[in-house]
């Protein structure tokens, strides 16, 4: 008998500001506790990845951004589910950054991103950013 893992679709933002990129740390109560990730969240029914991203950034961080470019989606399979990330390059932050769900946030130069303990799904994206930015 074949078992299909649940698939989660997540929009995420690579937010650039003054040469730095925003990383957020998941809270201890979330799945993948205390792992670092790019901010964003799960797509809801009927929602585009861009709409999801703007909604999630408003809900989780209290900010809005200018969405510039969609990058190629990435899929990673964990033990209990698989996740497809829809990453977007963003800038021009409006609002005050407030952590409603995350434990921490850090602004880092791209070459320092690999120093954090990232969620595995984000690792191919980190490698790409280190090559291209």
Q: In 10 A of CB 111, how many CB atoms?
A: 10
Give pLDDT tens digits for 40-80: 999 999 999 999 999 999 999 999 999 999 999 999 999 99
DSSP state of 55: H
- Reported as type and span, the H/E element at residue 72 is none
pLDDT at residue 1 in the model: 46
The model's confidence at residue 133, banded by pLDDT at 50, 70 and 90, is confident
Q: In 10 A of CB 29, how many CB atoms?
A: 8
Give pLDDT tens digits for 1-18: 456 889 999 999 999 999
Q: Which residues pair with 84 in a beta bridge?
A: 9, 75
Give pLDDT tens digits for 89-128: 999 999 999 999 999 999 999 999 999 999 999 999 999 9
Assign residue 52 a region (left: φ > 0; alpha: ψ between -120 and 50; beta: otherwise): alpha
- Domains, the chain, with CATH or none: 7-132 (3.90.79.10)
């Amino acid at each position: 008998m074949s078992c299909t893992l649940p698939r989660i679709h997540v929009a995420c933002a690579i937010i650039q500001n003054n040469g730095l990129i925003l990383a957020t740390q998941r809270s201890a109560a979330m799945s993948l506790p205390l792992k670092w990730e790019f901010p964003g969240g799960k797509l809801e029914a009927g929602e585009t990845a861009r709409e999801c991203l703007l909604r999630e950034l408003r809900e989780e961080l209290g900010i809005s951004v200018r969405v510039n470019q969609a990058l190629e989606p990435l899929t990673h399979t964990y033990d209990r589910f698989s996740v497809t990330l829809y990453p977007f390059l963003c800038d021009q932050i409006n609002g005050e950054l407030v952590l409603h769900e995350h434990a921490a946030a850090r602004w880092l130069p791209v070459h320092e991103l690999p120093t954090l303990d990232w969620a595995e799904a984000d690792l191919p994206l980190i490698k790409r950013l280190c090559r291209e930015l």
